[in-house]
Amino acid sequence: MHPTETDLLLVIDVQADFLPGGALAVPDGDAVIGPINALGRRFRHVVLTQDWHPAGHASFATSHPGRQPFETTTLDYGTQVLWPAHCVQGTPGAELSSKLDLPHAELILRKGYRAGIDSYSAFREADRTTPTGLAGYLRERGLTRVFLCGLATDYCV
């Protein structure tokens, strides 16, 4: 693999709450960090995403009395899985892993910060219409090819 000047590595949600011991841990999630660091050294352009929920986010089971994590509910944009509270703004669980070694990352794109809309994609919120701004960033910078890596492959990558 030989990334070019117009290639970007997009690192998705490598955060404490998705790592072993976190509120919504991916089994063996920390196993991706070494390969991401190695891959990141090959790219001139790196962007990180960060799940960044306000306390009481609509996707949290605790925001729906009597509901449990992993049940579903209906929000304005459709069916929503109710998650344990995770990646709450300003908490240790929301922090990017301290083991990530990508000092040349150009942008941290925070997503999921709208209290009533969840966010999985780095490009659009879960309502499928609200953009995150990443597409505009790529266009403005002339970046034409995106490589993805990170955690929660069944939802976010």
Q: What pLDDT does residue 1 have?
A: 81
Is 90 inside any structural domain? yes
Confidence at residue 151, expressed as pLDDT on a 0 to 100 scale? 85
Residue 157 lies in a domain: no
User: What does the pLDDT read at residue 126?
Assistant: 93
What integer pLDDT is reported at residue 42 of this predicted model? 97
What is the domain extent for residue 138? 7-57+84-150
Low-confidence ranges of the chain (pLDDT < 70): 152-157
Is residue 128 in some structural domain?
yes
Give the contacts of 106 (CB within 8 A, at least 6 positions apart): 45, 46, 47
Q: Domain count of the chain?
A: 1
Asked if residue 1 belongs to a domain, the reply is no
Catalytic annotation present for 111:
yes
Catalytic residue among 17, 51, 118, 156, which?
A: 156
3-state secondary structure of 124: strand
Q: Say if 99 falls within a structural domain.
A: yes
Q: What is the pLDDT of residue 134?
A: 97
Query: Would you call 13 a catalytic residue per the annotation?
Result: yes
pLDDT for residue 125: 93
Report helix, strand and coil shares of the chain as percent, to nearest 5: 20, 25, 55
pLDDT value at residue 107: 97
